[in-house]
Chains A and B, each alone.
Chain A
Amino acid sequence: MLSVQDLTVSVVTGHEPLKITQNLSFDIAEGEILGVVGESGCGKSMTSLAIMGLLPSKQIEVQTGRVLLGGADITHLAPHERVDQGVSGVSMIFQEPMTSLNPVLRVGDQIIEALMVHDKTNGRDPVARTRELLDLVHIPDAGLQMNAYPHELSGGMRQRIMIAIALACNPKVLVADEPTTALDVTVQSQILSLIRELRDELSMSVLFITHDLGVVAQLADRVCVMYAGQIVETADVGTLFENPVHPYTHGLFSCLPDPTRRSELLNPIPGQAPLLADIPDGCAFAPRCSYVSDNCRSGAIDWTPFEPEHQARCHHPLSGGLKK
């Protein structure tokens, strides 16, 4: 349904372009939830903005590569162009519902606005359709809550409103950029449950971006692990959690706090992620990797396939599963 091919997003102010992502490629099938896991600065948010056509165009651009939605090339189309050409099947929800909602408009009006822009009322009364959407996201008392302002609602409710707005245009793909990171854990589990349910009911594909491996385990069908602008490992979720092969993925798992191993020291990954301008040649993770060898430091690293649907970009993939 969504295909990202060889996507390179770069900052173009300054002397040379700085690559935020390098030749990124992944696909999402219809009704599939793809989790993209990475820490801050790995380029995951920029990727989602590129897919949406929301890059701040004077400073950051798609240099090479394509984004295909159901086969149609939407790479360089701005959002309003997509609406005009009828290829607007991608919606996005963001991390901070408070700043993504207009504070001076009632939430019902904001949903209606989305309906109107995309002309997706299908001839029905927009208010009725809004009520339908609010029910879909399990907001109780839809008729009453439609007239609420964002600040009158809790964080969880605001996020549901944002999801309702995103659903207004009947998207084929939902891009979710850390939508639960700012929410309490009990509310988070409700929202994750909601996304799963919507996927089941609407056969919607979901690109779910997060830094939280727990969330990925709960929600995703397949996972891509990103580091410094590249995907370093991709697998279906069961395989990734049982047998991660890339040293970075391994490292991420080892530094997860585990309440059952109390007061033991964690095994953090030494060092820090490189700044955009300092991404080394060869494997970007080489400076921090315990298994590095000379051929890791230069040249592109090819994909090593494992089982079907599991590949990693590494000269020294680890095996034997996670140390327990």
Chain B
Amino acid sequence: MELISSWLAPFMKRRLSLFGLIVLISVIFAALLAPFITPYDPLAMDPIGRLQTPNWQHWFGTDHFGRDTLSRVLYGARLALLIGTGVVGFAMATGVPIGVLSVLFPRIGNVLMRMVDLMMAFPALLLALGLIVILGQGVTNAILAIGVVYLTTTARITYSVALRLKAETFVEAGRSMGAGTWWLATRHIIPNLVSPLLVQASFVFAFAQLGAASLDFLGLGAPPDIPSWGNMLAESRRYITRAPWLLFFPGAMIVLTAFSLNLVGDALRDRLDPRFRDELANKGKP
């Protein structure tokens, strides 16, 4: 119980973070339970009941095919989380080792970092588009493409933080006691990377939504039959004036999810830093 409450403490301190946590948990629930809680089949079309404004049968209204927007939004959450975790996972799994290796082995590091710089010279969307052109359309490829974009920033951040850490006295102290490179990397450098990387992860998760939505919007991500927030935005283009709810609900979900991820990331970063942990526990003590 104490463990749970210590993890909840940073959220209790700041209401905004709590809000973010609640939104995030709701999105996760929606994603996990979608098949059970959606009132309608997201793919079921009802040409007679198309473009209904939000009402008691369809809380979020229906789209141009008569599909229930609420159900599609809930299913869209699944894809959003899938893409988010996929992109973050890929970016971390590739970017962090690149950054750490570059710091530990400066000669290789120079080459690696210049390559990263080269990739960063491309605007993010163009890079993703380019990769999709090579790889082809689809959810997995979208994840890879966006993942590559964000591996660059992850590598950069890892590099600069690790570089600073390498110069810290406690790392030198480790060396003076006979620690080898592997020990220093795993015991000293990487644990101190967790904090900035967690914040980075929450940003990447958020931007991944936007990136995926852009790709879907352009028809290059998820195929049109899978409900994704980006696809829904794309399809709502022609109906903006007639049926603004088709734009509003998926758009709001993208924004809310990205925003809440940032808030949660901030709070988690504080929780993970031992220096702040006690401050959070001693609420009220100066």
Contacts and interface: CB of A to CB of B under 8 A. Distances in A.
Interface in B249-286: 284-286
A12 to B, nearest CB: 11
Contact of A11 (B284, B285, B286): B286
Nearest to A275: B286
A277 interface: yes
Contacts, number: 9
A14 interface: yes
A277 B284 CA distance: 12
A59 to B, nearest CB: 11
A13 B284 CA distance: 11
A277 B282 CA distance: 13
A15 B286 CA distance: 8
B233 to A, nearest CB: 45
Interface string B189-210: 0000000000000000000000
Contacts of B285: 277
A54 interface: no
Nearest to B284: A15
A127 interface: no
B59 to A, nearest CB: 46
A130 B150 CA distance: 55
Nearest to A16: B286
Contacts of A14: 286
Interface string A1-28: 0000000000101110010000000000
Nearest to B285: A277
A114 to B, nearest CB: 36
Nearest to A276: B286
Contacts of A13: 286
Contacts of B284: 15
A276 B285 CA distance: 12
Contacts of A276: 286
A13 B285 CA distance: 11
A274 to B, nearest CB: 14
Nearest to A14: B286
A67 to B, nearest CB: 26
Interface string A270-299: 000000110000000000000000000000
A15 B285 CA distance: 8
A276 B286 CA distance: 10
Nearest to A11: B286
A14 B279 CA distance: 13
Contacts of A277: 285-286
Contacts of A15: 284, 286
Interface string B49-83: 00000000000000000000000000000000000
A124 B151 CA distance: 63
B278 to A, nearest CB: 13
A72 to B, nearest CB: 34
Nearest to B286: A14
Contacts of B286: 11, 13-15, 18, 276-277
A211 B284 CA distance: 33
Interface in A50-77: none
Interface of B: 284-286
Given A11-B286, A15-B284, 7 more contacts: A13-B286, A14-B286, A15-B286, A18-B286, A276-B286, A277-B285, A277-B286
6 contacts: A11-B286, A13-B286, A15-B284, A15-B286, A276-B286, A277-B285
Minimum-distance CB pairs A-B, first 5: A14-B286, A277-B286, A18-B286, A15-B284, A277-B285
